[in-house]
Amino acid sequence: MRYLVKQSEVTPYSPANHIGTRNFRLIGPETVGAKQVEVLVGELERGKGALPHAHPGIEQVCYLLEGEAHVEVAGEKFEMKAGEACYFPPDAMHLFIVTSDRARVLVIYAPPYGEHPARRVTPSGA
């Protein structure tokens, strides 16, 4: 079991229902054996990000490390800048679109999301 995880040693993936996004899963069941939390870093391009979706029963926190983004959650809309955090309650529809040239975001899920299709709902149900 390892407890130190370096982003440079993690294979990136393109998350479902996102465009122009590369995620690096740092902390989770498969990296350190975490059972109640998942932490990842996302790298996103301008005008890209998370399309509208929700995570049933999963809380999500986003902390913007670099860049700026337009965020919508449960009908509330706001602009985020580096150094700010937002919260997506379980089951709340949300989106996250980068408005700067690029962005890096720290994402925390509790419990772990793990990119499981049953843990994501889109407006169309796709």
User: Could you tell me if residue 38 is inside a domain?
Assistant: yes
Alpha-carbon 60 to chain mean position = 7
Instruction: At 25, list the tokens.
Output: 């899963």
Residues 57-75: pLDDT tens digits? 999 999 999 999 999 999 9
Residues in contact with 61: Cβ distance below 8 Å, sequence separation at least 6, in sequence order: 85, 86, 87, 88, 107, 108
81 assigned to some structural domain? yes
Range of the domain at 95: 12-113
Give the CATH number, domain containing residue 82. 2.60.120.10
Give mean pLDDT in consecutive 10-residue pieces for the chain, a chain of 126 residues. 89 93 96 96 97 95 98 97 98 97 98 83 72
State the Cα–Cα distance between residues 16 and 80, nearest whole angstrom: 22
Q: Is residue 122 part of a domain?
A: no
Would 124 be classed as within a structural domain?
Answer: no
Percent of the chain with pLDDT over 90: 86
For the chain, the average pLDDT equals: 94
9 Cβ contact list (under 8 Å, min separation 6): none
Residue 111 preceded by cis peptide, ω within 30: yes
List of E strands, the chain: 18-27, 38-53, 59-66, 68-73, 76-81, 85-88, 94-98, 102-110
CB 59 within 8 A of CB 87: yes
- How many domains does the structure of the chain reveal? 1
